[in-house]
Amino acid sequence: MATTAEIRNGLCIRHNEKLFQIIEFQHVKPGKGPAFVRTKMRQIESQKVLDHTFSAGHKIEIVRIENREYQYLYQENDSFIFMNNESYEQVNIPLKMVDKPGFLQEGMIANILFHAEEEMPLVVELPMYITAEVTYTEPGVKGDTATNSMKPATISTGAEVKVPLFIANGEMIKVDTRTGIYVERVKS
């Protein structure tokens, strides 16, 4: 068992029988009363952020996690299949574990967070940006550029994103996978 003195950003702990990752923390020593550690933690399973305050010296259980790169291969029934490029070991990831599955592309490298002792996958992190082809979008209306208008477009992964009016079918665009927002047109 560790104490609150060992809390740092990125640390994974078990709290109330659930796994949390510390996003940020602040050690506070008020003029009156005991010291405490104010934390912002993300629950690994649900990705919900929780503010929690630990009293100084409180015992915490540190969980060892590892971040590994895996290549996305394909979807099979109710899971995604990823492969470790070094050992060629394949791992099945349940559909619900991938936050934005609409942005998965075959051959894409993703980071998978593993519980080191149990060899259990916890979180799948997609790359920050993907480049995809616009497979369908309505043509922009000529002269409708006075405002920063956006229109829906379907990209090659099957996801729908909002793009500016000047984007046409067949163009390559860069999309932020965290927000699903169009970033820029990619020149080929």
Can you tell me the mean pLDDT for 117-126? 87
Q: Is 57 left (phi over 0), alpha (psi -120 to 50) or beta?
A: left
Residue 25 and residue 36 in contact, taking contact as beta carbons nearer than 8 Å = no
Burial label, 79 (beta-carbon count in 10 A; 0-12, 13-18, 19+):
middle
Q: Walk me through the domains of the chain, giving residue ranges and CATH numbers.
A: 2-62 (2.30.30.30), 65-125 (2.40.50.140), 130-186 (2.40.50.140)
- What pLDDT sits at residue 153? 92
Burial label, 126 (beta-carbon count in 10 A; 0-12, 13-18, 19+):
buried
Can you tell me the mean pLDDT for 2-20? 89
Question: What is the reported pTM?
Answer: 0.75
Residue 134 and residue 150 in contact, taking contact as beta carbons nearer than 8 Å = no
Over 70: is that where the pLDDT of 110 sits? Answer: yes
Taking all residues of the chain, what is their mean pLDDT, rounded to a whole number? 89
Sheet with 181-186, edge to edge strand ranges? 160-164, 150-155, 129-137, 172-176, 181-186
pLDDT tens-digit readout, 55-81:
988 999 999 988 899 999 999 989 999
- What pLDDT sits at residue 162? 92
- What pLDDT sits at residue 143? 61
Residue 77 CB neighbour total at 10 angstroms: 6
Residue 87: strand, helix, or coil = coil
Over 80: is that where the pLDDT of 142 sits? Answer: no
Over 60: is that where the pLDDT of 146 sits? Answer: no
Q: Is 143 left (phi over 0), alpha (psi -120 to 50) or beta?
A: left
pLDDT category of residue 144 using cuts at 50, 70 and 90: low
